Amino acid sequence: MRPTSFLRLAAALALAALAPLAAHAAVDAGVRAPDFTLRGADGRNVRLEELRGQVVLVNFWATWCGPCREEMPRLNALYDKYRKSGVVLLGVNIDDDPATALATARKLGVSFPVLLDTDKRVSRLYDLATMPSTVVIDRDGKVRLLHRGYRDGTESEYEQTIRGLLKE
Amino acid sequence: MAATKRSGPAAVVAGVTLAAGAAHAVDLPEDRAELMYHLYDGGGTRASGPAVLVRKRMLDRVSVSGSYYVDAVSNASIDVVTTASPYKETRNEFDLGADYVVRDTLIHVSGSRSKEPDYVADTAGVDLTQDVFGGMTTVAIGFSKGNDKVGQKGTPGWIDTAHHWQYRLGLTQILTPRWLATANLEAVSDDGYLGSPYRVARVFGATVPERDPRTRESKALKLGFVGDITPEGGDKRSSVRAEYRYFWDSWNIKASTLELGYSRYLAPGWLADGFVRYYKQTHALFYSDDAQAETLYVTRNKQLSSFHDISVGGKVTYTLKSVPGKYDVHLTGAYQLLSFHYKDYTDIRTGSPYSFNAHVLQGVVSATF
Amino acid sequence: MAPTSPAARRFARLAAAALAASVLAGCGSWRPKPIEPWVKPYERERLADPIMKPGRDELSARQVDHVYAVREGARGATGVQGGGCGCN
């Protein structure tokens, strides 16, 4: 190969390698929350964009995830406390079997809407890095908090963020 | 009088139970209580007893556990009956452990004491488990130190001591949404009295007290795969596993272990496991059925001879009661058949190579809450 | 292509490499693209099932381990299993 064609090839390969890096966009605080539509337990669709104007907390959970199950009752308590203030809590479940998900939610005494993301479409959209993951979205549809995982006491962090957003 | 005793290292391994299968990914273990009745019967030895385990989360990120294991041994094994008379004794083992989670790391500290009338083994250890690479890989390292006090019936006080150092390295790698690969490496160093004051060796046909080296270094490497083989759309999950372990030490023993297992959910609330295991080892350098030369070290401990054993077993678990988010109660029954075949250990009662079968039985009631 | 001596060819290769390196350097902080975890936490449902944890019954595993340890010369590497759940 001629030296110049080799150089041209090397330059082209280098630029091609750089391209994927630019395309990566993470869902994190400050970014607009990607819109989605999911079916709920009652069969009706819920669309995130339609909840603009309210503070929304989206919790991604699964029945097979220990910390997720622990977190459920705490989220429920949070929901009962702030639902009148205009906070919407959505529990997005990612189980392969929706029946198990709904049965478990019922047994855990969950009163907030459970949405089914069986094909993992929304999980991929939000590029979930951990289970559970909780996203708190403000009235303008922007992500204000992305919390990965759950430990005892994490719910107070959610509460603090919600209170701050309700004042806005 | 007691003739056959577990050699020192075995007592230590009994005391140090790695958190086998407890930590899946990095999360604090669930609250749990287990009550077991166990039985081993084979080769003239019968060991049975209860065992209990309790594990509870305390405060925010700590889980403490405690267990008590009783081994009532009635020993009329070949070593015992051919060189002494059958005996009965009880071994008690206490274990305490604590788990603490910091971000992606699990810290586990443990201590145990195994007590027999003539042998006390204390062990303390620490294990660190870390999730890396988005939870795809889990790395574990651990260290344990054991101190043993060796006694001899009829002699007051302790006759000697033994020390053990164990270094562990473990890796679990998620391969696909259905398959896991595991690798474990463990190095053990022993120093001190590693034999048994009651065991005899044979030199030129005559019995002499055995002479074991006072040091031993060993390494073991295990590779395994676990996979979910449920057919697409199948409603009862099933899995298979395969493990191979290679062992080698400074006593020239080389051992291979191969284990294959299958697990499957049967009707709702019923889980069944089955396995086959093959173990083969070559004898220690100083082992001899009947030594034809005077050597510095000599032993006729069949645990160090050339032999193989095959094992087949099954376990069934039944969920007695399940209240999600609250508690679960399970009943488990397990049975295992072991068959030992020695190549260079003679049954002096018959003149042919020794072999025997053993049965292992377990009944467990367990609850997670 | 004009006939070249081995030395000239070596020089050409070096020059090409140097030029390629400067192109890359000129493009700013270039790093090799990291490998992303290919099994996402939300795809780990099967791995979280108890049948994927052979040592799930602790006391049972302990007794069996003891039976082997007493009768076999090999010891160690009976292992801790991790991985599976994308939780925390």
What is the residue extent of each domain of chain A? 24-167
Closest residue of C to B219, CA-based? C76
For B57, the closest chain A residue by CA position comes to A152
Average confidence (pLDDT) over B189-202: 93
pLDDT band at B9 (very low <50, low <70, confident <90, very high): very low
Domain count within chain C = 1
B157: pLDDT strictly greater than 70: yes
More confident position, B265 or B3 = B265
Q: Is B151 strand, coil or helix? A: strand
Chains meeting A at 3+ CB pairs closer than 8 A? B, C
Answer yes or no: is C54 within a domain: yes
Residue whose pair of structure tokens reads 């499957």 in the numeric block: B264
Q: Which two tokens stand for residue B215?
A: 């040091």
With cut-offs at 50, 70 and 90, classify the pLDDT of residue A67: confident
- The answer to whether residue B3 is domain-embedded is no
Instruction: Report the pLDDT value the prediction gives residue B1, as an integer from 0 to 100.
Output: 38
Alpha carbon distance C15, B362 (integer Å): 73
> In sequence order, what DSSP letters do the residues of B164-182 get, joined into one string?
EEEEEEEEEEE-SSSEEEE
Question: Is the pLDDT confidence value at B325 over 80?
Answer: no
CA distance linking residue B122 with residue B163, whole number of Å: 10
Q: Could you tell me which residue, B16 or A150, shows the higher pLDDT? A: A150
Contact flag C82-B25 (C-beta cutoff 8 Å): yes
Q: Quick check: helix, strand or coil at residue B58? A: strand
pLDDT > 50? residue A16: no
What's the token pair of residue A167? 């004042």
Residue B159 CA to residue B274 CA, distance in Å, equals 44
Question: Given B6, B263, B303, which is nearest C73 (Cβ)?
Answer: B303
Establish if C48 belongs to a structural domain: yes
A153 in contact with B, Cβ within 8 Å: yes
Asked, as a colleague might, if the bond just before B156 is cis with ω within 30 of 0, I would say no
Q: Does C77 touch chain A (CB under 8 A)?
A: no
From B182, B158, B188, select the one nearest B170 (Cα to Cα). Answer: B182
Interface test with B, best of C38, C45, C59 (most B CBs within 10 A): C59
**Model-level pTM?**
0.83
**Is beta strand A114-116 parallel, antiparallel or unpaired with respect to A133-137?**
unpaired
**Cα distance from N-terminal residue to C-terminal residue, chain C:** 61
Among candidates A69, A104, A152 on the partner chain, residue whose Cβ is nearest the Cβ of B60 = A152
Distance CA(C82)–CA(C60), nearest Å, equals: 19
Which of chain B's residues have a Cβ under 8 Å away from the Cβ of A67?
Answer: 27
Confidence of residue A66 (pLDDT cuts 50, 70, 90): confident
Q: How confident is the model at residue B17 (pLDDT cuts 50, 70, 90)?
A: very low
Residue C43 contacts A, CB cutoff 8 Å: yes
What's the pLDDT tens digit per position in B225-249?
999 999 988 889 999 999 999 999 9
**Which sign, positive or negative, has the C-alpha torsion B171, B69, B145, B99?**
positive
pLDDT computed for residue B3 by the predictor: 37
Other CB atoms within a 10 A radius of the CB of residue C21 amount to 12
Residue of chain A nearest C28, judged by CA positions: A18
Domain assignment present for C50: yes
> Of residues B179 and A151, which shows the higher confidence score?
B179
| pLDDT of amino acid B369 | 86
Q: Per-residue pLDDT for B292 more than 80? A: yes
The highest-level CATH class for domain A24-167 is alpha beta
Q: How confident is the model at residue B327 (pLDDT cuts 50, 70, 90)?
A: confident
Q: How far is A104 from chain B (nearest CA, A)?
A: 7
> A108 to chain B: nearest residue by CA?
B325
Beta bridge partners, B123, equal B112, B146
Estimate the crossing angle of helix A154-167 against helix A66-82, to 10 degrees. 30
Residue B314: count of CB within 10 angstroms of its CB: 14
Q: Which residues of A are less than 8 Å from B61 in CB distance? A: 151-152
Pick B167 or C28 by higher pLDDT: B167
Tens-digit pLDDT profile for residues A77-120: 999 999 899 899 999 999 998 998 998 898 888 999 999 999 99
CB count within 10 Å of CB A52 equals: 15
User: Is residue B1 a part of any domain in this protein?
Assistant: no
Q: Would you state the pLDDT for residue B298? A: 96
Q: Is A148 on the interface with B (CB under 8 A)?
A: no
Query: Partners for C (CB, 8 Å, 3+ pairs)?
Result: A, B
Intervals of chain C under pLDDT 70? 1-4, 15, 17-18, 21-31, 79-88
Count the helices and strands in chain C (H runs, E runs). Answer: 2, 0
- Yes or no, beta carbons of A153 and B60 under 8 Å apart: yes
Asked if residue C44 is part of any domain, the answer here is: yes
What pLDDT is attached to residue B2? 37
Is the residue at C82 inside a domain?
A: no
The confidence band for B15, taking pLDDT boundaries of 50, 70 and 90, is: very low
pLDDT of residue B243: 97
B130 vs A21, more confident:
B130
Provide the pLDDT for residue B27.
Answer: 83
**Percent of chain B's residues with pLDDT above 90:** 77
Mean pLDDT of B286-296: 95
Residue B347, min C-alpha distance to chain C (Å): 16
| pLDDT of B4 | 37
The answer to whether the Cβ–Cβ distance between B142 and C80 falls below 8 Å is: yes
**Lowest mean pLDDT segment, chosen from A87-96, B322-331, B341-350:** B322-331
How far is it, in rounded angstroms, from Cα B15 to Cα B113? 7
- The parent domain of residue C45 ranges over 39-73
Q: Does A73 touch chain B (CB under 8 A)?
A: yes
Segments forming the whole domain that contains residue B228: 8-368
Question: What's the domain count of chain B?
Answer: 1
Among B101, B135, B325, select the one facing A69 at the smallest CB separation: B325
Chain B neighbours (≥3 Cβ pairs under 8 A) are: A, C
pLDDT-based confidence at residue B7 (cuts at 50, 70, 90): very low
CA distance A33 to chain B (A): 22
User: Residue B60 in 3-state DSSP?
Assistant: coil
Distances (CA, A) of B272 to B266, B268, B314: 7, 12, 7
Domain harbouring B206, CATH code: 2.40.160
Does A68 contact C at CB distance below 8 Å?
A: yes
